[in-house]
Amino acid sequence: MQFVESNSSDGVQLSMNLQRGVFIGFLPGETVTAFILRVLSLCEESMKREVQTLILNNGCVDEPDARTLVSGDTLVLSGAMPGLVGAMLRSNSPIKAMRQTLSASVYRTDPLVPESMIRLKLFNTVLTDHKDDLLKVGFYLEGDEV
């Protein structure tokens, strides 16, 4: 595992690493909302505007305040996505009925993720707008990612 806190890799590689997922620590009892506000340096209003798609362990999250992070979670943060399916996947989408199967998380955590950490993935505008925030906080790459 390699710790990264400044942009030493090229743009394409860094972008791919952040999409594939990096390991990052969370605070005891931290909710999804609290984690996002801390790590991305956002206020709640900006979070609602910028992070419109939230996926935790392959399930859409409609109530990020109500979910506390646990070791091994995989959390995806993304801007609003296009397409009918993109609209469906948005948090509290008015057409969330069309994704009933996806509203529940898969009940398994990622065994590769170290204790007290989650795998965090950034997509879309959250990736481009917040990769520097993540570099400031620092994160770990999986063994084979450089």
What letter does residue 9 receive in the DSSP assignment? S
Question: Residue 14 or 28: which CB sits closer to another protein?
Answer: 14
Task: Find the shortest distance in angstroms from Cβ 75 to another protein.
Answer: 10
Contacts of residue 114, defined as CB under 8 A and 6 or more positions apart, other chains included, come to 1, 23, 71, 140
Site residues, another protein (CB under 8 A):
10-12, 15-16, 19-20, 49-50, 52-53, 55, 58-60, 76, 78-89, 94-102, 104, 106, 121, 123-125, 127-128
What letter does residue 1 receive in the DSSP assignment? -
Task: Find the shortest distance in angstroms from Cβ 29 to another protein.
Answer: 25
Question: Residue 39 or 87: which CB sits closer to another protein?
Answer: 87
Task: Find the shortest distance in angstroms from Cβ 70 to another protein.
Answer: 18
CA 10 – CA 62 distance, rounded (Å): 34
Of all helices (H) and strands (E), which one includes residue 27?
none
